[in-house]
């Protein structure tokens, strides 16, 4: 493990993941943690974990970003004592509405909701999202179309406490407090990497991360393929059922009468 991005959600996590991948790091963002380590994180968040757990889970991983890792950066550091920590602290006045916008955009995106309802992998993703949300925001999701309960008092308190704890507890020689306006320089110097000959990445602009992931990320694209397959099967069954009714309209009346009699609706 080389580096942990300990910045809270909506403080540049997707941009930082792009930075780490540009360096060639095997990077686990939320999607990777959810897919490959979902059962481990569920157990840890419900029952607790050990140094050995984190060492096993992240063997061969170079960088981690986003929840729930940024909250448990210290536990990961216990497993990998030489790991470096990067944090960026966004002003609350812009961070809070940005986080709410991100969450609201997910619950109102029909394709995103459909993916979780019609895909087994998507349902597992939803379950992991709900558990992680409880650790990050103090609330859970009941259904894929639900939103985390907006509680600015709790969210701001969690944000402040997290940032203060990182600044206080992380070893100063292993910590970089990063401003995204500074670009490649500070990160490359901190991690010992060459400055890439390309603009510094700025991902998830205007809460676009999920649509970007559905178009480009192999895990999310796999969930969508599952959902589209399920939808296709349902459509075929519905079409076949409709065709059979069209051929024999009286049969539907017979089914209805049998059901009404069986369940004593009259």
Q: What percent of the chain has pLDDT over 90?
A: 48
pLDDT bucket at 62, cuts 50 / 70 / 90: very high
pLDDT bucket at 240, cuts 50 / 70 / 90: low
pLDDT bucket at 239, cuts 50 / 70 / 90: confident
For 38-60, write each residue's pLDDT tens digit. Answer: 899 989 988 999 999 999 999 99
Q: What is the mean pLDDT of residues 209-222?
A: 70
For 158-209, write each residue's pLDDT tens digit. Answer: 999 999 999 999 999 999 999 999 999 999 999 999 999 999 988 755 555 6
Q: What is the mean pLDDT of residues 89-117?
A: 85
Q: Which residue has the higher pLDDT, 149 or 9?
A: 9
Closest CA relative to residue 23, chosen from 204, 219, 187, 180: 187
Report the C-alpha gap between 157 and 258 in whole angstroms: 59
Domains, in order of start, for the chain: 3-227 (3.40.50.300)
C-beta of residue 87 within 8 angstroms of C-beta of residue 28: no
pLDDT on residue 158? 93
- Look at 29-43, 168-182, 217-231 and tell me which has the smallest mean pLDDT: 217-231
pLDDT on residue 114? 81
Q: Which residue has the higher pLDDT, 255 or 77?
A: 77
Q: What percent of the chain has pLDDT over 70?
A: 85
> Is residue 265 pLDDT above 50, yes or no?
no
Query: Which range has highest mean pLDDT (116-125, 140-149, 177-186)?
Result: 177-186
């Amino acid at each position: 493990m080389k580096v942990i991005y300990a910045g809270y959600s909506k403080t540049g996590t997707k941009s930082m993941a792009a930075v780490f991948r540009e360096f060639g790091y095997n990077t686990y963002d939320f999607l990777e943690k959810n897919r490959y380590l979902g059962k481990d994180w569920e157990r840890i968040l419900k029952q607790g974990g050990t140094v050995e757990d984190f060492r096993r889970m992240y063997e061969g991983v170079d960088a981690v970003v986003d929840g729930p890792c940024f909250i448990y950066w210290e536990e990961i550091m216990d497993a990998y004592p030489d790991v470096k920590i990067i944090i960026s602290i966004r002003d609350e006045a812009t961070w809070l509405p940005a986080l709410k916008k991100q969450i609201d955009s997910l619950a109102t995106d029909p394709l995103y909701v459909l993916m979780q309802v019609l895909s087994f992998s998507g349902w597992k993703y939803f379950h992991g999202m709900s558990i992680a949300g409880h650790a990050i925001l103090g609330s859970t999701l009941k259904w894929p179309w639900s939103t985390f309960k907006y509680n600015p008092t709790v969210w701001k308190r969690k944000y402040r406490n997290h940032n203060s704890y990182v600044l206080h507890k992380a070893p100063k020689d292993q910590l970089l407090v990063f401003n995204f306006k500074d670009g490649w320089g500070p990160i490359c110097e901190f991690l010992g990497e060459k400055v890439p000959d390309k603009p510094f990445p700025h991902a998830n602009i205007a809460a676009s991360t999920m649509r970007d992931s559905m178009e480009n990320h192999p895990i999310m694209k796999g969930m969508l393929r599952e959902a589209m397959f399920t939808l296709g099967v349902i459509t075929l069954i519905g079409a076949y059922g409709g065709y059979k009714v069209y051929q024999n309209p009286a049969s539907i009346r017979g089914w209805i009468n049998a059901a009404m009699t069986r369940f004593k609706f009259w």
